[in-house]
């Protein structure tokens, strides 16, 4: 008898949880879930989205060699998984530098980027493009991105998440100046 009551309580709890759970989902993106150890202990989208679908992957691409004060273009590609729609969260270690969207599919919230709505996946992938402006001083920075490939049902089930990071190294190479000698041959300094 006691075992039957425990089973009934668990079943009722699960029914209530899965009927309320979509209320907590947000199709407008979240921050703090980019896989960055400095926010929420490195949590990514899988904290909310149950990874119960085919595996997805996230690719973070762009230059890894940067110079202080310069702006660079990057892309986060979410591919695989259910492949209907995708979302992302992007951050930097220590909130260093300035993230900014290139087009209107991303929004800056605090010091992080997130999707403004689920982005339709084309050929089983979605690409989110953004810019990062390096600070005016040299500091080790890691870009973090978490992506979610969803089934488009606007709940937390049937999705799959993945994360990526990119270490940004500072370029110490200075441009070479070219001086003309008296006989007009260039001298490199």
Cα 116 vs. chain centroid, distance in angstroms? Answer: 13
CA distance linking residue 123 with residue 78, whole number of Å: 11
User: Is 16 part of any domain?
Assistant: no
Number of domains in the chain: 1
Q: For residue range 172-187, what is the model confidence (pLDDT) as tens digits?
A: 655 555 555 455 555 4
User: Is 178 part of any domain?
Assistant: no
Which residues constitute the domain of residue 113? 26-171
User: Is 76 part of any domain?
Assistant: yes
Q: For residue range 91-123, what is the model confidence (pLDDT) as tens digits?
A: 999 899 999 999 999 999 898 899 898 899 999
CATH number of residue 101's parent domain: 2.60.40.680
Place of tokens 């999707």: 115
User: Is 7 part of any domain?
Assistant: no
| Residue percentage of the chain with pLDDT more than 90 | 36
User: Is 14 part of any domain?
Assistant: no
User: Is 167 part of any domain?
Assistant: yes
Q: For residue range 32-81, what is the model confidence (pLDDT) as tens digits?
A: 555 566 676 655 555 565 556 667 889 999 999 999 999 999 999 999 88
């Amino acid at each position: 008898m006691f075992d039957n009551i425990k089973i009934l309580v668990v079943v009722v709890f699960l029914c209530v949880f899965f009927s309320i759970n979509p209320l907590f989902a947000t199709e407008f993106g979240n921050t703090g879930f980019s896989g960055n150890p400095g926010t929420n202990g490195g949590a990514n989208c899988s904290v909310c989205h149950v990874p119960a679908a085919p595996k997805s992957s996230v690719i973070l691409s762009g230059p890894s060699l940067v110079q202080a004060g310069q702006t660079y273009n990057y892309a986060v590609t979410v591919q695989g998984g259910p492949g209907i729609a995708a979302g992302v969260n992007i951050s930097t270690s220590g909130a260093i530098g300035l993230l900014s969207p290139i087009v209107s599919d991303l929004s800056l919230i605090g010091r992080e980027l997130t999707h403004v709505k689920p982005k339709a996946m084309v050929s089983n992938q979605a690409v989110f493009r953004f810019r990062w402006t390096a600070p005016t001083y040299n500091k080790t920075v890691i870009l973090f991105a978490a992506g979610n490939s969803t089934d488009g049902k606007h709940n937390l089930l049937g999705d799959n998440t993945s994360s990526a990071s990119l270490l940004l190294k500072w370029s110490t190479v200075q441009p070479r100046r070219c001086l003309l000698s008296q006989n007009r041959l260039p001298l490199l300094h």
